[in-house]
């Protein structure tokens, strides 16, 4: 007897039910597994200051994370180590290779400002700094410079300063060079422990001096003075004057000096002669440091200058345009706020600490490549191509490029 059409349909449906059930179970298992993996990724991202998801998106991996248990005020990479200073001015030496704390010491009185953490001199024909017996670390504070034994963390000397710093310290050979509120640029000879020489500018100096080449120092003041000084003698090489205060450190590149000024100009000087090469006028006061990069173009490598302008955004200009005394802007990105901290591959890394966002910029094309939110990161810096970041609760993390 031939089965009815309804019976044949029922039999066929019953035959495929096990397969449908197995497929449904497999889908549920896959969905559960994906959900569990996503939850584990989120948990790891919470555990690390700079989470693995964000790190992978940049082509980086987490090398180590360490915790100080108190907020970190300052971080310096010196020789083979990282030095972090907490809000009590306790400094901890951390092995840069593995993140292990080595020693801690009170580096300054709790209310003092730390202006520099720098290595000292090494013996003639000695090993690199940090590998010789007696190598010293120098911590510059408001009233004094402390000499600290690199190996043990013991404070072995104290040098009283004649002038109180108002800028971060630039170390050049056996000198600590810094600006003061009285407009002086001071060479402090840390081997013998006293001020060696100084030069005078009009108005306070609040921007860290800039090393130009191997033997010159560029510095500017709130009085609008711009000086190029000999690092060897502290003597003047050339000088000029802007129309208002210079608050941000100057930048050097391609034989030029770039100064962002509150007179709304980005000034460009010839580093050797001091001539004004060009100046670009904006609608805003400029108080952030310019960034110099080289980009690969059809005509070869060319210099570019990036400057944040409040009313325009991030502006890119030719570093050395021909026959243009007003500067030559190439592109603008309105929302690319941030401080340039280094290069990630061929892209400029900008850290926006107000929004805790890391952006990478293609300087050749004038486009934002990536925007990564890092809500746990309090500060972010780069040393060569290595990223260091700190958190509000005292964690510090190191990330290295993959491969």
33-44 pLDDT, tens digit each: 757 676 677 788
Closest CA to 361 of 311, 302, 293, 299: 293
Percent of the chain predicted with pLDDT > 70: 91
β-strand pairing of 101-106 with 90-95: antiparallel
Print burial letters for 123-132: b (CB count within 10 Å at least 16), e (below 16). Answer: eeeeeebbee
- Cβ neighbours around 203 below 10 Å, total: 16
Sign of CA dihedral 51, 54, 55, 56: positive
Give pLDDT, residue 63: 97
Give pLDDT, residue 363: 95
User: Is residue 3's pLDDT more than 60?
Assistant: no
For range 107-135, the mean pLDDT: 94
For range 350-368, the mean pLDDT: 96
For range 279-296, the mean pLDDT: 96
Beta strands in 161-299 (DSSP E): 170-172, 175-179, 184-189, 194-200, 210-212, 216-220, 225-230, 236-241, 251-253, 256-260, 265-270, 276-281, 291-297
Which residue carries 């300054």 as its tokens? 108
Beta strands in 96-165 (DSSP E): 101-106, 114-119, 136-141, 144-149, 155-160
**pLDDT confidence band for 26 (50 / 70 / 90):** low
**pLDDT confidence band for 323 (50 / 70 / 90):** confident
For range 180-202, the mean pLDDT: 96
Q: Give the contacts of 95 (CB within 8 A, at least 6 positions apart).
A: 80, 81, 101, 102
Number of H-type helices and E-type strands within the chain: 2, 32
Give pLDDT, residue 20: 60
Give pLDDT, residue 340: 96
**pLDDT confidence band for 29 (50 / 70 / 90):** low
Give pLDDT, residue 14: 58
Among 36-50, 83-97, 388-402, name the one with the lowest average pLDDT. 36-50
Q: What are phi and psi of 123, to 5 degrees?
A: -60, 150
**pLDDT confidence band for 298 (50 / 70 / 90):** confident
């Amino acid at each position: 007897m031939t089965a009815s059409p309804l019976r044949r349909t029922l039999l066929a449906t019953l035959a495929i039910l096990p397969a449908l059930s197995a497929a449904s179970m497999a889908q549920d298992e896959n969905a559960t597994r994906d959900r569990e993996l996503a939850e584990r990724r989120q948990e790891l991202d919470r555990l690390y200051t700079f989470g693995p998801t964000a790190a992978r998106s940049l082509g980086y991996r987490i090398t180590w994370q360490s915790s100080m248990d108190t907020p970190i005020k300052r971080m310096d990479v010196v020789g083979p180590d990282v030095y972090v200073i907490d809000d009590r001015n306790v400094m901890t030496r951390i092995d840069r290779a593995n993140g292990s704390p080595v020693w801690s010491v009170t580096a300054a009185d709790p209310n003092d400002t730390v202006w520099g953490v720098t290595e000292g001199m090494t013996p003639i024909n000695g090993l690199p700094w940090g590998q010789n017996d007696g190598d010293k670390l120098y911590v510059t504070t408001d009233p004094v410079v402390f000499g600290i034994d690199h190996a043990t963390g013991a404070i072995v000397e104290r040098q009283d300063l004649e002038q109180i710093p108002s800028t971060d310290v630039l170390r050049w050979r056996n000198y600590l060079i810094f600006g003061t509120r009285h407009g002086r640029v001071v060479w402090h000879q840390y081997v013998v422990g006293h001020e060696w020489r100084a030069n005078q500018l009009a108005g306070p100096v609040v921007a860290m001096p800039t090393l130009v080449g191997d033997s010159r120092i560029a510095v500017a003041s709130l009085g609008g003075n711009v000086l190029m000084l000999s690092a060897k003698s502290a003597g003047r090489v050339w000088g000029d004057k802007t129309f208002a205060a210079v608050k941000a450190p100057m930048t050097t590149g391609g034989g030029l000096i770039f100064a962002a000024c509150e007179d709304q100009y980005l000034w460009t000087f010839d580093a050797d002669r001091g001539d004004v090469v060009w100046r670009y006028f904006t609608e805003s006061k400029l108080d952030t440091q310019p960034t110099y990069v080289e980009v690969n173009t059809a005509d070869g490598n060319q210099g570019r200058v990036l400057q944040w302008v409040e009313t325009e955004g991030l502006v890119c200009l030719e570093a050395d345009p021909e026959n243009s005394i007003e500067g030559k802007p190439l592109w603008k990105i309105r929302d690319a706020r941030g401080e340039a901290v280094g290069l990630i591959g061929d892209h400029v890394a900008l850290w926006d600490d107000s929004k805790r966002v890391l952006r990478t910029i293609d300087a050749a094309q004038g486009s934002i490549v990536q925007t990564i939110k890092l809500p746990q990161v309090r500060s972010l810096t780069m040393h060569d191509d290595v990223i260091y970041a700190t958190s509000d609760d005292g964690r510090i993390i190191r990330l290295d490029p993959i491969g």
